[in-house]
Amino acid sequence: MGYQTWRSNAPACRGKKLTVGAGKTQLAPPQDGVIIDSVSVLADQSNTAAIYIGGVDVSNTAGFKLNQGQGLPGIRVTSLDVIWAVADAEGQVLWIFYTEPVGENVS
């Protein structure tokens, strides 16, 4: 049985680093079964090209453009697998921060 943490009065926040390139990349939770309340994404300050955020059809002409250091806060979703990213160049870094609903298992 694994260690579990429960939060009753504040949402748990977790994050991860994702490397994005010219091919579309799906934002997936770090483990199966994680319930998501919202997600925020931030393009790393060291990026040299833009990253685009959107659905499965995201491209560098159809998506929310993030230049270095820019982000999108508080996107309300129940699963990260509906959000995709693509970049103008290989090796761009996207930071993903997501919160879990209050009172949910946050192991």
Asked whether residue 59 carries a pLDDT value surpassing 50, the answer given is yes
| pTM for this entry | 0.80
Question: For the CA atoms of the chain, what is the radius of gyration?
Answer: 14
pLDDT top residue among 74 and 107: 74
pLDDT, tens digit, 9 for 90 and up, residues 62-102: 999 999 999 999 888 877 788 999 999 999 999 998 887 76
Q: What is the pLDDT of residue 103?
A: 60
Q: What is the pLDDT of residue 14?
A: 76
Q: What is the pLDDT of residue 88?
A: 97
**DSSP readout, the chain?**
-----B-SSS--EEEEEEEE-SS-EE---SSTT---SEEEEEE-TT-SS-EEEESTT-BTTBSEEE-TT-EEEEEE-S-GGG-EEEESSTTEEEEEEEE--TTSB--
